[in-house]
Amino acid sequence: MLALVSAGLACTAVTAATQTATRRCTMSAVAIGGESVRSVAIVPQDDKPKTNPGAEAAPQAPSQPERARPEQESSEAVKQAPAESTQQESSESTEQAPAASPQEAVGLAREAFERIDNGGDLQKEAAHINRLFKYLLENDKTNPWVLYIRGRSAMLSNRGVEGMRDLEEFSLTDPGKSDWKTFRLLGDAHVREYPRLAAARYRQALALNDREPSILLGLSQASFKLGERAEALAMAEKAMELDAGRSVGYLDNYAALIRLDALQRTEGRAEQLRKATLIVDKAITMVQDVVKKHGPNPGILRLLANEYESALILLRDILQDQPENVSAYQAAADVSFSLAEVRRQLQLHDALALIELQAMKRLEGKVPADLAMSYARLLVGVGRLADARTVYTKIIEGEPGHAGAMEALRRLDAEAPASTEDATPPGADAKAPPSAPDKPVPKPEQS
């Protein structure tokens, strides 16, 4: 049976002013009773033991799985830019220390990890962490936070065994015993294969911070895998409430666990499935609001497609039990249509990326008129009307009287006057695209 899974889904903050995620995370399928649940846990993708870099080894620049980040980040250390000495007036230059003290270095490193979690520039932050780590080794080699920095870097670099070893050792130190995030990270690392150990780590984290939704989310998944379904649902619901509608990942997790619970029930199954559809519907509405506010960004469109797929899975479950539920058929048809539109938009974005990231570079800006026309049509398709108008205008400048470009410009002017469209930056239209209908998903009626 299909599982409620969306691979590569980020926990997107839908109320943020930008499309940055509240916590950068790898969505991993966690097997629970033969099914799968979306997880926001950072789970090592490769736990094969590797050579221990030793106590003085600098952390590598962390890399992320390809599905979570389009480009692979280099793991090479970035050299520091030389800074001119302030103590002597000469042409010589020295490397400026990344921090004024070991304590400051620890704080700066932790802030850099937070920025990575929130979708910051991975390569830039990794280079910064690397410099801070080296500074700590030179000035305070026995500082317990050295273990934390090295462990987190290893886990982000998919060297899970090394990372867990360092974090476990750090958790035994005085600062480690009071750091909830360390225990949550250890829970995330173990939840896939060792749910009981993961649950213990999550509970240690919860004892230090009982208002952190990501801890409750991990604990809900570990509890479900241990067969503690009621507790798992309670934890997932509380995590969703604490998040207060900032991230769809918490809604997705709760809906997934409700669905899996429903599939194991003989009584109350229909009501549970309906409850899950209501939650997924709320998630869809949240993502649609982001599309309306920020435009059809490819990442947001993928998120919307994942939510539509989740809704379809639930509607099929309902129809399996209620084959005469007309409302569920209608809802499934409407969601399928919306999903098809979103997928079409994503295909247009993929084609656009092919031209902008490859063709333009290869052709060094010398684009033939026919290719430029195709490029402009794609720009129109994704809602970048101002950019499309610019391309059509350049085609006409290069080939005065170009019939296709002139006709396309006339259509653009008729549909969206330049004075109105230019006032809104491309990709930031307030109006929702066809792929994000204003109406939420219809709710299937009870039989």
pLDDT in tens, 344-363: 999 999 999 999 999 988 88
At residue 342, does pLDDT exceed 90? yes
Which of 319, 315, 318 lies closest to 270, judged by CA?
A: 318
pLDDT band at 402 (very low <50, low <70, confident <90, very high): very high
Spatial distance between the Cα atoms of 396 and 409, rounded to a whole number of angstroms: 10
List the domain boundaries for the chain.
Answer: 11-64+97-294, 295-442
pLDDT of residue 416: 61
At residue 213, does pLDDT exceed 90? yes
At residue 54, does pLDDT exceed 90? no
11-64+97-294 and 295-442 have identical folds: yes
pLDDT of residue 233: 97
Residue 220 corresponds to which amino acid? S
pLDDT band at 330 (very low <50, low <70, confident <90, very high): very high
pLDDT of residue 266: 87
**What are the start-end ranges of the E strands in 17-160?**
21-23, 28-32, 35-39, 82-84, 93-95
Residue 327 corresponds to which amino acid? S
DSSP per-residue letters across 168-237: HHHTTSHHHHT-HHHHHHHHHHHTTT-HHHHHHHHHHHHHH-TT-HHHHHHHHHHHHHTT-HHHHHHHHH
| 3-class SS of residue 365 | coil
**pLDDT one-digit tens code per residue, 14-51:** 333 223 333 333 222 333 333 333 322 222 233 333 33
Fold of 295-442: 1.25.40
Check the CA dihedral 129-133-135-136 and report its sign. Answer: positive
pLDDT band at 280 (very low <50, low <70, confident <90, very high): very high
At residue 434, φ and ψ (nearest 5 deg) are -55, -25
Query: What are the CA-CA distances from residue 377 to residues 40, 44, 352, 394 (Å)?
Result: 37, 42, 10, 14
pLDDT of residue 13: 32
At residue 420, does pLDDT exceed 60? no
Identify the bridge partners of residue 335 per DSSP, sorted by sequence position.
none
pLDDT of residue 35: 37
Phi-psi group of 32: left, alpha or beta (phi > 0 → left; psi -120 to 50 → alpha; rest → beta): beta
Query: What are the CA-CA distances from residue 67 to residues 27, 28, 72 (Å)?
Result: 9, 11, 10
At the fourth CATH level, which superfamily is domain 11-64+97-294? Tetratricopeptide repeat domain (1.25.40.10)
**pLDDT one-digit tens code per residue, 103-136:** 999 999 999 999 999 888 999 999 999 999 999 9
pLDDT of residue 37: 35
Spatial distance between the Cα atoms of 314 and 272, rounded to a whole number of angstroms: 10
Which of 269, 292, 198, 212 lies closest to 246, judged by CA?
A: 212
pLDDT of residue 41: 25
Average pLDDT of the chain, as a whole number: 77
